[in-house]
Amino acid sequence: MSDEVAQGDLPSDSNTTLNEIQHSTVLLVDDQMIIAEAVRRMLADQEDITFHFCNDPTNAIQVAAEVKPTVILQDLVMPDIDGLTLVKYFRANPATKDIPLIVLSVKEDPKIKAEAFAHGANDYAVKLPDKRELLARIRYHSSAYIHLLERNEAYEKLEESQRTLNKELAEAAEYVRTLLPFPLDDEVDASWRFIPSTSLGGDAFGYHWMDDRHFVLYLLDVCGHGVGAAMLSISVMNVLRSQTLPNTDFLDPAAVLSALNASFPMEKHNNMFFTMWYGVYDKTTKMLTYSSGGHPPAVLITGPNHEHVHCEELTTPGLVIGGMPDAEFLSATCDVGNFNKLFIFSDGVYEVFKPDGGILTIREFVDYLYEFASKTEVPGDDLDYIIKFIRSLQGKEGFDDDFSIVQFSFLNE
């Protein structure tokens, strides 16, 4: 059984918090009561130090778990268990493995010192040391241990906060995904890939028939990352789907971007703005009308047949949406040939680091799209090949920004 001499106790509850540890807590493990009394007297007038004594080394681990010392003083020569073995036990036990341990020995022997440190001791003192020396050692090691506990607690709180944030981001990403349109395989063939980054960006996209003749398609990218950016992109997408912009002709891309710019000023949305590409395809005239605001160009690969195709970058002058209240947006048109593949995407698709450390440019990405997609005789889903290419280029699976790309083919025969 252990015999304790103490001047005040810490709560023995295993859930003791750092706020309850305001001073050093010393546990002396020694079979000699005279040593315990001598140490107690040295510490008796120190209000910032609590003293505990265990005279049975076989119970030392249990007593340490109960009193939660910030420093352990331990004799090397005791009955029933070798002192160096006990040091190993302290270090092997999860509850005591980090607690500073000062070995007390009657010998000033370099070999014994080396063995003590090799087994995990933090310090070595010939007993009994001078009071000032003992106090200095106790406070030094105890302070370091308390700081370690504080860092560990802060890190655990940070990890918990990160887990909560990751859960919220995953939920937001899943919500965005539920709002994205179904793939199409009819008069318009439409497929897409949406791979949210670990911090979730503000990508969103959609497409739908306005009437029997006109097909609307768009993609937007909110600046920044996180739930706020995702929520803004969802708000914009819902406005477009419900067509609730006042006095707006949704068949006029420039008018749509102007109305969005007026409805979503950045100063009312936590200084967040977004880029956008918006198009309207007329199946009767085989014309595509489009407008962009600060967004990467859409890429159209088209021609009369597979053997005679060319590549067009579809973009118009225009600032980001929500950045300037009086920004002007323009529309442009292009013909869509019998063979056609249209790609709209966010900058997260191509702004990746290459093996040489440089960033893939939009020019390089467009050249890749043209070289790859023009080789396929029958229009179809090329997106998995594009993802594979980008992942191999950057050398990792995940993306630093949302990866959003939509591919369309229009049945013009």
Neighbouring residues of 224: CB distance < 8 A, sequence distance ≥ 6: 201, 202, 272
Please check the confidence at residue 12 and state whether its pLDDT lies above 50: no
Please check the confidence at residue 158 and state whether its pLDDT lies above 70: yes
Between vectors from CA 8 to CA 21 and to CA 43, what angle results, nearest 5°?
90
Closest CA to 135 of 6, 61, 41, 3: 41
pLDDT of residue 227: 81
pLDDT of residue 379: 54
Amino acid 386 reads: I
Q: At what angle do helices 33-43 and 131-179 cross, to 10 degrees?
A: 80
Kind of pairing, strands 287-293 and 274-282? antiparallel
Distance of CA 145 to the CA centre of its chain: 29
Of 18-22, 115-119, 157-161, which one has max mean pLDDT?
115-119
3-state SS assignment for residue 252: coil
Task: Tell me if the pTM is above 0.85.
Answer: no
pLDDT digits (tens, 9 = 90+) for 64-93: 999 999 999 999 888 888 889 999 999 999
- DSSP H helices, 93-130, are 110-118
Work out the pLDDT band at 101, boundaries 50, 70, 90.
very high
pLDDT of residue 172: 76
Neighbouring residues of 216: CB distance < 8 A, sequence distance ≥ 6: 206, 207, 208, 209, 210, 240, 250, 251, 278, 279, 280
| Tokens at 191, concatenated | 């497929």
Tell me if 10 sits within 8 A of 50, measured CB to CB. yes
Closest CA to 406 of 291, 277, 312: 277
pLDDT of residue 199: 74
- Range 387-392 average pLDDT: 92
C-alpha span between 272 and 202 (Å, rounded): 10
The 3-state secondary structure of 285-302 reads CCEEEEEEECCCCEEEEE
Bridge partners, residue 54, by sequence: 29
Closest CA to 5 of 24, 31, 33, 42: 33
pLDDT of residue 8: 36
Please check the confidence at residue 409 and state whether its pLDDT lies above 60: yes
**Count of positions (residues) in the chain:** 413
DSSP structure string for 43-97: HTT-TTEEEEEE--GGGHHHHHHHH--SEEEEES--SSS-HHHHHHHHHHSTTTT
pLDDT digits (tens, 9 = 90+) for 312-333: 999 999 999 999 998 999 999 9
Work out the pLDDT band at 380, boundaries 50, 70, 90.
low
| Tokens at 343, concatenated | 């790609």
Work out the pLDDT band at 361, boundaries 50, 70, 90.
very high
C-alpha span between 278 and 335 (Å, rounded): 16
Of 226-230, 304-308, 358-362, which one has max mean pLDDT?
358-362
Please tell me what DSSP assigns to residue 359: B
Work out the pLDDT band at 14, boundaries 50, 70, 90.
very low
Work out the pLDDT band at 11, boundaries 50, 70, 90.
very low
Which residue matches tokens 């043209």? 370
Kind of pairing, strands 298-305 and 339-345? antiparallel
C-alpha span between 96 and 100 (Å, rounded): 9
- Range 362-386 average pLDDT: 81
Work out the pLDDT band at 378, boundaries 50, 70, 90.
low
Tell me if 27 sits within 8 A of 63, measured CB to CB. yes
Closest CA to 204 of 408, 1, 39, 402: 402
pLDDT of residue 328: 95
pLDDT digits (tens, 9 = 90+) for 171-214: 877 888 888 999 998 899 999 999 988 777 789 999 999 999 99
pLDDT digits (tens, 9 = 90+) for 146-157: 999 888 888 888
- Range 363-384 average pLDDT: 79
As a whole-number percent, the residues of the chain with pLDDT over 70 amount to: 92
C-alpha span between 361 and 146 (Å, rounded): 51
- Range 90-113 average pLDDT: 91
How many Cβ atoms are within 10 Å of 176's Cβ, its own excluded? Answer: 24
Tell me if 349 sits within 8 A of 366, measured CB to CB. no
Domains, the chain, in order of start with CATH, read 18-154 (3.40.50.2300), 181-410 (3.60.40.10)
| Tokens at 143, concatenated | 């302070």
Average per-residue pLDDT in the chain?
88
pLDDT of residue 5: 41
Q: How far apart are the first and last CA of the chain?
A: 94
Work out the pLDDT band at 6, boundaries 50, 70, 90.
very low
Omega before residue 128 within 30° of 0, cis: yes
